Amino acid sequence: MAAVESTASNGMENEAPQATSQTVKAQLALRELILGGELKAGARIAELWLVERLKVSRTPVRLALVKLAEEGLLDALPSGGYAVKDFSEADIHDAIELRGTMEGLAARLAAERGVSPVLITEARECLDRIDEALASAELSDETFAVYVQQNARFHALLSEMAGSELVSRQLEKTKALPFASPNGFVMAQSVGPHARDVLVVAQEQHRMVIEAIVQREGARAEALMREHARIARRNLQQALRSHQSLQLVPGASLIRRRSVR
């Protein structure tokens, strides 16, 4: 009997990761269909179409739909099912402001509670790589890619510095909101005439935040991170003024433009 129970247990353990993998696969693929513009704002999601398109069963598709509704990319319809959501400029401003508030809290907690030298060293090494990428007077695709990668890494380290699983978990949820990611509008900045200048300002804020945390200046660290998030708002405004810039923003087709009177 023990052998039978062991075999059954192993079977269940093997199935769970596979089911999770299929759900993650469906979630990532569906998000890409939305952000890539194949599924337009307002489009109702046909579950069977997704099953055929994504080559997964209905259960992972249903779970993926729930997850993306939680992220804010989909609206649950009163009649059942889901539709792709659109976003006003105010929606995006609020998402960015919320991320700035949460990252400001993380920075303040890091300063007040103290951060291990290892994490500080990792953050400074990350910023050194950004400095190297910005050393040239003009940005190349390669150096810009380095900035995007290391910028995401810096913000992840800041979350870890808070020393709070609760804050980190909520911050990750906030960054998953549509257009709230630290890199959400960075790509739109890459085609502007002052692209490097904006990134240099953001990088200087990165360094000031780290120094405020090291000096245990909680209020200053918090204020810096809230101001830092507002760079994304300026990038949004630039993207909305430039068709070329806007095309570089993932999910640009979901942004509801103001009507012209």
**How confident is residue 237, by pLDDT bands cut at 50, 70 and 90?**
confident
Domain membership of residue 231 as a residue range: 89-250
User: Do 244 and 223 belong to one domain?
Assistant: yes
pTM beyond 0.85: no
Instruction: Give the integer Cα–Cα distance in Å for 2 and 230.
Output: 61
115 domain-assigned: yes
Task: Identify the sign of the CA torsion 136, 140, 142, 143.
Answer: positive
5 domain-assigned: no
Using the 3D structure, point to which of 84, 106, 141 is the last residue of a domain.
84
**Percent above pLDDT 70 for the chain:** 84
7 domain-assigned: no
Asked if residue 3 has pLDDT above 80, the reply is: no
- ∠11-14-18 over CA atoms, to 5°? 135
177 domain-assigned: yes
**Amino acid, single-letter form, for residue 260:** V
User: Do 173 and 206 belong to one domain?
Assistant: yes
8 domain-assigned: no
Instruction: Give the integer Cα–Cα distance in Å for 78 and 197.
Output: 47
42 domain-assigned: yes
User: Do 205 and 107 belong to one domain?
Assistant: yes
Q: Based on the structure, what is the number of domains in the chain?
A: 2
3 domain-assigned: no
Using the 3D structure, point to which of 33, 58, 84 is the last residue of a domain.
84
Asked if residue 17 has pLDDT above 70, the reply is: no
Token pair 């890409």: residue: 32
Cα within 13 Å of Cα(150), Cβ side: 23
User: Do 127 and 238 belong to one domain?
Assistant: yes
User: Do 124 and 34 belong to one domain?
Assistant: no
User: Do 218 and 126 belong to one domain?
Assistant: yes
User: Do 217 and 102 belong to one domain?
Assistant: yes
DSSP symbols for 179-241:
T-STTTTHHHHTTSTTHHHHHHHHHHHHHHHHHHHHTT-HHHHHHHHHHHHHHHHHHHHHHHH
Give the phi and the psi of residue 87 in degrees, each rounded to 5: -135, 135
Closest-CA residue to 28 (of 152, 173, 188, 176)? 176
